[in-house]
Copies of this chain bind each other. A is one copy, B any other.
């Protein structure tokens, strides 16, 4: 029933990001999104099951691109430390490039009800899995401290980045975000680096 492809599908997704960023989730009526997309209200329902589905699809779509892009950037990189650096950098850079998207993912998407939150988390798993795999590989390669619990390390990494971005959004994007990647990476590395590798560095 709901077609997940087509020119209008993309138009509606983009309209939704814009309208929700501008008006907030609770004031983004379907009719407003339709108008912005240049389609009739009913057309929305040819492409999406309901209003919730717009939100989830929006996140799936953008998050998918996001993860794919980062994976692409990581290809060929051998240093585990650098991998983490690239991930943090891309995360901040991508959201800095699209203020509206940042607003939606950091604030509006979290206003939705819990059933959406769970679906969002499902989508997020792809990204969290990516972080996990970087950590695991680093531990195997002897780059990262084997003693550290992967889940905890991932929570610190994702929680830190997320908090940094949210603070930036709530401060109205008044400062540059990407430059915060380097010190954040440096800080995290001090906690993650394996004792042996630390020794070598001296």
Contact = CB atoms under 8 A, between A and B. Distances in A.
Contacts of A153: 187
B152 A184 contact: yes
Contacts of A75: none
B26 A113 contact: yes
B152 A158 contact: no
Contacts of A111: 110-114
Interface in A134-156: 148-149, 151-153, 155-156
Q: Which of A151, A159, A161 has the most CB of B within 10 A?
A: A159
Q: Is the interface of A mostly helix, strand, loop or mixed?
A: helix
A174 interface: no
Contacts of A183: 148-149, 152
20 contacts: A25-B113, A107-B114, A117-B170, A118-B170, A149-B183, A152-B164, A152-B183, A152-B184, A152-B187, A155-B163, A156-B156, A156-B160, A158-B163, A159-B160, A159-B161, A159-B163, A187-B192, A189-B191, A190-B190, A190-B191
Interface of A: 24-26, 107-108, 110-114, 117-118, 121, 148-149, 151-153, 155-156, 158-164, 167, 170, 180, 183-184, 187-192
